[in-house]
Amino acid sequence: MPRKGVLGFFSNQSVHDSADHANDRNLDHHGHRHRHRHGIKSLFSNFHHRRPPQAQPSPASPSLSAKMMEENIKFAEVIVSKWDAETNPYAKINLLFGEDRDEARQFLRAVAELQNAMLFFVNDELGGSSVSRSHALVRAQKLMQTAMRRLEWEFYQILSANRDQLDPESISTQTSLSSISLASEGGDDPDEEIRAAGEFISEVERASVLVMADLRAIAGAMISAGYAKECVKIYKVHRKSIVDEGLYRLGFEKLNINQVQKLDWEVLDLKIRAWISAAKVAVTTLFSGERIVCDHVFSGSESIRESCFTDVVRDAAVQFLAFAESVAKSKRSPDKLFRILDMYNVISDLRPDIESIFSFESTSVVRLQAQASLQKLREAARSTLTDFEMTIQKDASKSPPPRAGIHPLTRYATIYISSLADHEATIAEIFADWPIQAQLPSQSTAFPTSSLSDEGIPSTITWLLARLLLLLLCKLDSTAEMYRDGAISYFFLANNLWFIVRKAKEGKVGHLLGKEWEARHSALARQYARNYERMAWGKTAMAATTENTAAAESMKAFNTAFEEAMRSQRGYEIEDEMFKEEVKATIAGMILPGYRVLHKWCRETLPDSGASVIRFAPDDVISQLSDLF
């Protein structure tokens, strides 16, 4: 420990105050030994905060006061020497702030008396001859250096040995500690602090209160004696490692933007998930808990409190929040959108806590980083959604699904849009200032009237979902044109649109777009299905009629039409069971009434030799139709 100059101990104190104060404290020490328990910090806080009334010393008072100050030095020398690890083996293996807390209180009292004595003897008028004053000052200064060396070691040992009691993740959840921290300026006894926290304080909280009270008492003593630098250095180094370790245990890995951009999406996705899981704990427990500890230990000095908290937490907090900005600046992909939205939502929710925890001017960079990350995430979300729109519009499928089933783009886009609806609040916030009215689709059916505001403008999320679904439907229309058979084009459109409507009903999309949108698009899907049924099965239905045609010829025509239709339509599929049964029932309704009449007429009119033209009984037709799709 570097040697302190004598004047380094005397800032913010007056010599006359010191003399009178020393008399009061000396009489208190010799007259009353105070065997009942006093708070460690209260002994020092009395010295640090209380100023006795000033009085002009009598001609004899300098000599009397000098004698008392010398006795104070002698008293301090006994206990300081006892705990000098360089000369006493006992002091090497025992903690001053251990079980015998009275000893610790006496040690702090001795430090206060030494400071009083040094303040007294530095004064030419009150300190006696220059030789005696010089001797007393040198003696007191050496003892003070020894005492500070001991307190510095004790401070480090308490920090190191009480990691559990000072764990910010647990301290942040102990509401009583937060209230104690706010009220700690008064320098109360630890027992009084515990009583102030309420009768239901847990043993864990009790231990934390006592440990932080000891740290606060030591910090107050060292700062008052001019050893703030040594105390603060120990605290910063130790607590910074606690914060870094806490983030590591939460799964956070420090990566710069270049490292983030080089990661494969699968790896980056895992790191984003870990960050999202860790964010709330990091801010509301790790950083918040560290603020509580720092505010408590250095409650006597706002500037030191700010400096310590800033140096311990600021860089880690900035790096943690900057990860979100690095993700936002990384290569865009539609698949990243939902991680971007999740990160935006997390930081947005934690913004009030960040503003409160990092309220110091020196930690404004943390608040600015949170703001910057939100802004970059907002920009990335908008750009990524634009990329998704382009993905729909520029889908390069060279051929439609061979069985006219659900197009991969339909499945992908519908799931994507459903996930967007699950982020309704975040989407509404990010896209709140987009010029919706200027970008409304030209189709009047794009938005149900129930989703419009009084000004005829849809909400942000409604506009966004309807716009994306409209883009998807337009793309499906162009895809349907790839089929050479017009009936299959309608089958494809009916199939995919019904899938879209069903998925909308199952999730939040249907709720946001409203019943009107669902009804209109369900009706459109059925209309596509009716067009398919008419074009694919109309010939068969027509062949089942008996008007102006001989019975045998009518049956042959039906057989040909039905077999051809079954052969051409058997390979197509409908995923939704309800829609599948509805389409099959409609086809059966087109064919069976007429065919029943035709079948009966042929059975009645054709001779036995001509009955061979009857290939299908009505039940056979029903059976074959049931195997479709």
Q: Is residue 391 part of a domain?
A: no
> Mean pLDDT for each consecutive 10-residue tract of the chain (629 residues)?
46 39 38 36 38 40 73 87 89 84 90 88 65 81 93 94 81 56 48 53 76 93 93 95 94 93 94 96 95 93 95 97 96 92 97 97 97 97 94 87 91 95 92 63 50 55 92 94 92 96 94 93 96 93 77 87 90 89 93 90 76 86 90
Tally of structural domains, the chain = 4
Q: Where are the beta strands (DSSP E) in 273-314?
A: none
Look at residues 482, 510, 534 and tell me which one is the last residue of a structural domain. 534
* pLDDT at residue number 101: 79
Classify residue 403: in a domain, yes or no.
no
Tokens of 34: 């105070």
**What are phi and psi for residue 393, nearest 5 degrees?**
-70, -30
Bridge partner list, 407: none
Same domain, 508 and 543: no
Q: Looking at the domain assignment, is residue 72 inside a domain?
A: yes
Tell me the C-alpha to C-alpha distance, in Å, between residue 387 and each of 213, 336, 472, 475: 57, 11, 14, 15
Residue that finishes a domain, picked among 483, 515, 534? 534
- Out of 367, 382, 397, a domain closes at 382
Residues 318 and 292 both lie in one domain: yes
Look at residue 578 and tell me if it is in a domain. yes
b/e code 527-540 from CB counts within 10 Å (16+ = b)? ebbebbbebbbebb
Burial class (CB in 10 A: 0-12, 13-18, 19+), 108: buried
Q: Are residues 502 and 369 in the same domain?
A: no
d(CA 167, CA 436): 49
- The reply to whether 351 and 417 lie within a common domain is no
The DSSP symbol for 79 reads H
- Give the rounded distance of the alpha carbon of 29 from its chain centre: 54
- pTM for the model stands at 0.77
SS3 content of the chain, % helix, strand, coil (to 5): 75, 0, 25
Residues 415 and 297 in one domain: no
Q: Let me know: does 166 contact 293? Beta carbons within 8 Å.
A: yes
For 184, counting Cβ atoms within 10 Å of its Cβ (0-12 exposed, 13-18 middle, 19+ buried), the class is buried
- Candidates 136, 306, 155, 119; CA nearest to 227 is 155
Distance (Å, whole) CA 24 – CA 116: 11
For residue 46, give the H/E element and its range.
Answer: helix 40-49
Residues 317 and 433 in one domain: no
- In sequence order, the β-bridge partners of residue 452 are 458
49 and 165, same domain (yes or no):
yes
Whether residue 52 is found in the same domain as residue 187: yes
Q: Do 210 and 112 reside in the same domain of the chain?
A: yes
pLDDT of residue 384: 94
User: Can you tell me the distance from the alpha carbon of 581 to that of 423, in angstroms, rounded to the nearest whole number?
Assistant: 34
Q: What does the block give as tokens for 383?
A: 């750009």
Give the domain range for residue 592.
Answer: 536-626
Q: Is residue 165 part of a domain?
A: yes
**CATH code, domain with 594:** 1.20.1280.170
In a domain, 397, yes or no: no
Which SS3 state, helix, strand or coil, does residue 458 take? Answer: strand
Is the domain of 193 the same as that of 315? no
In this structure, the answer to whether residues 38 and 133 fall within a common structural domain is: yes
Is 436 a domain residue? yes
**583 in the same domain as 547:** yes
Residue 119 placed within a domain? yes
- Bridge partners, 458 (sequence order): 452
